[in-house]
Amino acid sequence: MHTIRTLPTSPPARRTTAVLLALLLALSMIPLAAFAGTSEETYDLPAPPSNVQASADQDLIRISWDPVDGQAIYALYRSETGTDPWQTVNVTSSTSWADTRAEPGKTYYYFLIAYINEEGSDPSNIVSARIPLPTYPATYYRNFDADDQTSLFIGDFEQGDTFTLANSAPSDWDRSDYRLLGWNTDRTSTEGDMGEYTMPNHAVSLYAIWGSLHRVTYDGAGADGGIVPVDSNKYLAGEEVTVPRETPTKTGYTFGGWKEPVSGRVCQPGGLFLMPEQDTTLEALWAEHADAGQNMLELDDDDLTAGDTVRFTATGHRQDATGSAGGETRFVPVSWTIAPIFDGVSFPFDSSYPFRGSAIMSTPGSYTVTAVYQEQFFNICCDTWEPTDNTTTLTKPFTVKGQLHDLVYNRNYTPDDATVQPGGTFRLNDPLAFSGIGSVGVSGADWSRDGYRFMGWSADRAAEQGAMDGVMPDEPLTMYAVWAPEYAVTYAGNGHDGGTVPVDELAYVKGDTVTVASDAPTRTGYSFAGWKADHDGKTYRAGDTFAMPEGGARLVAQWTPKAAPGPNGGGSKAAPAALSKMGFLPKTGDEAVPFVLLGVAAAAGALGVRSLRRRSQG
C-alpha cells in the first residue's frame, strides 16, 4: 500500500488528507488485488519525533531528535517565520541533521514527521535557532581628563543591537561641581546622550561628558527684614534658574528685584534667568515707594449753585517720578466719577499732569466726586512704568444748592384778597417754618381775624386745613392763610325756673370736640332729662361729647313731668330697690321715662290688689 504525505495546516487536516489519498490509491489497485487474491496489510501511525532540539554553531544550525520505534524515515521542514510556508529541507533515516544553508543573524524554525511503512506521524514540536552575528564590546570611560582611562565594561553586542545609555555615572565616579551630561564617542565633545544607542559593527568607547556646575548667591544690600534667599542648588551654564519667591525688606524702601550682574537684567521673584558660565551674585535693588496716604483730591470751589460747573484736581503721590531704580512705585490718577448722577460710569483723566476733571451740575443736591489712583512700578528692564494690581480711591463730598426763590404769604381773607407779605428767599429742599398769623413775613404783620381761627398755611387757596412747616420747591412759593369761621355753643333752659343754665364761652370751628357742661337747670314738677341738640336731634347728658357742626350748636333742656301723689295722700312710693338693681328704672332725661313710670305704676297697683286680698282672707 502506498501513502503520500503532504504538509498540512494542522495535524487533523493532514491526517484526513492522508486517509483520502490512501483511499484513492487503494481503489485504483482493486483489480490487481482481485487477481492477486491477497489481502491488504494495515499499520498503526508512528509516534511523532520527540525531544527535538535545535542549536546554532558558528556557521550552521544542528537539529537532533530521539528515534521513533521501528524503521522510520524522517522528513524535516523549515520556515523563516514559524508559520507557512514550510519547505522540505531533508529526508533522512538519521536522528540529526545540519542546516548549512542557514544565514547568520536569521532565526529559522523546524519540525519533523516520521514515516514507517509509508505511514506518517503527526508533526513534532517546532524548534528554532539562530546563527549569531559577530559581537563587539561597548565600554564606558570616566573621562575626568584627557588621559583618564578608568572604564566600565558594558557588554558585547551584535551590530544593530540597541541598549539604553546610563543616565548617571557609577557611584565611584561622582565628581564634585560637575554633572553628567551624557555619553559620546568623542571624549572632547561638550554634548552627551542618554537615550538608546545602536551598536555598530565595531567596538565602541563611550566617554562621559561632564558639565561644570555654578552657584547663585543673593545679596540683600542692606535689607533689615524679610528673607534673603539661599539657593543650595548648582546649575550648568545656560540652565534656567528660578528666582526664589522669598523677598527681603528695607525700611523706607520698596524691594525692586534682583540685579544679575552679567546681563544687567533685573529679575523678579518667581522669574527666570540663564546661568552664566561662572558663579554669580544677585544684588537686591531698593526703590522709593509711593504712599497712597499722600494722594490728594481738591475741589476748586465747593460753594455751588445749580447750573455751576464743579472743577477738581487729583494728584497722585510721586506721579511725576521718571524712574531710576527698578521697583520704584508711584500713584497716577486714572479716572473719576460723580455719584449719584453718573451711576457708576467713570471718565478718564488726561494722560498727563495736571489731572483735572469737571462737570456741569444742573440739579441741586448732595454729591460725591471719586478719583481712582493706579499704582505703577518702574520696570528697569524695559525702562517703562507698568501697572500693579493695587488701586486706591479718594472721595470728596460737595453740595449743589438750588436757585433762590421767594416765599410770599397771602392774607386770604377773601378769594380775591391780594394782601401779601414777603417771607424770605430759599433754595430747593430748604426746610420752611411758616410765620405765625400774628407776625407774618419779614415785616411781622398781624393778620389776626375776629370770628375766624387761623388754621395754618397752604399753597392751595381753597384748602380747609393748613400747615406750619414745609419744604421749599424749586420755584417761587405763595402760601395762603387758611381760615375757619368760629362758632358758639348755646344752652336753652326751655322753661326752667331754677338751677343753672350753662354758658360756654369757648369758640369752636367745625369738627372741634364739644363737651356738654355739667351744670343743669331745674323746673318745678319736672325732672331734668338732658340736652337735645338742634343739629342732630340727639339728647346729651353732662360729660357727653359731639363734633361741632357748621354754623354752631344749640342744646335745649328736656323735661319729664313728675308722677301725681298716691292714694295715701303722699307722692308715689319709691320704686323697690330690686327694680333699680335689675336696671328697670330709667335715668334722668331718658326718653323712655313715661313708659317706665307707667310700668312701675302698674306693678304698684298689682301689689296693692294682692295686699287687699290677703287682708280679706285673714
Query: What is the per-residue pLDDT across 100-138, written as a single tens digit (0 to 9) for each?
Result: 999 998 999 999 999 998 899 999 999 999 999 999 999
Cβ 464 vs Cβ 484: under 8 Å: yes
pLDDT tens-place string over residues 535-589: 999 999 999 999 999 999 999 999 999 987 655 544 444 444 433 433 444 444 4
Question: pTM for the complete prediction?
Answer: 0.40
pLDDT of residue 563: 86
Name the β-bridge partners of 387: 376
- 292 phi/psi in degrees, rounded to 5: -60, -25
Pick the CATH number of 135-212 from 2.60.40.4270, 2.60.40.420, 2.60.40.10, 3.30.2130.10: 2.60.40.4270
Sign of CA dihedral 387, 389, 392, 393: positive
Residues 305-333 have pLDDT tens digits of: 888 999 999 999 999 998 877 778 899 99
* Range list for CATH 2.60.40.4270 in the chain: 135-212
Q: What is the reported pLDDT for 22? A: 41
Rounded to whole angstroms, the Cα distance separating 583 from 439 reads: 58
| Count of other CB atoms within 10 angstroms of residue 464 | 13
- pLDDT by residue (tens digit) across 170-200? 989 989 899 999 999 999 999 999 999 999 9
Environment class of 328 (CB within 10 Å of its CB; exposed 0-12, middle 13-18, buried 19+): buried
- Express each pLDDT in 370-419 by its tens digit: 999 999 988 877 889 999 999 999 999 999 988 899 999 999 999 999 99
CA torsion sign for 33, 36, 42, 48 is negative
pLDDT of 10: 39
To the nearest whole number, what is the mean pLDDT of the chain? 86
In the chain, CATH 2.60.40.10 covers 11-130
What is the CATH architecture of 215-287? Sandwich (2.60)
Q: Based on the number of CB atoms within 10 Å of its own CB, is 365 exposed (0-12), middle (13-18) or buried (19 or more)? A: middle
CATH number corresponding to 292-399:
2.60.40
Long-range contact pairs involving 493-499 (C-beta distance under 8 Å, separation at least 24): 493/521, 493/557, 494/556, 494/557, 494/558, 494/559, 495/523, 495/557, 495/559, 496/521, 496/522, 496/523, 496/557, 497/522, 497/523, 497/524, 498/522, 498/523, 498/524, 499/528
Please give the Cα distance from 254 to 256 (Å, whole number). Answer: 6
For 11-130, CATH number out of 2.60.40.10, 3.40.50.1970, 3.40.1080.10, 2.40.440.10 equals 2.60.40.10
Beta bridge partners of 281: 217
Check residue 567 and give its pLDDT.
56
Percent of the chain with pLDDT over 70: 84
d(CA 370, CA 335): 8
Would you list the DSSP string of 262-301?
A: TT--EE-TT-EEE--SS-EEEEEEEE----GGG-EEEES-
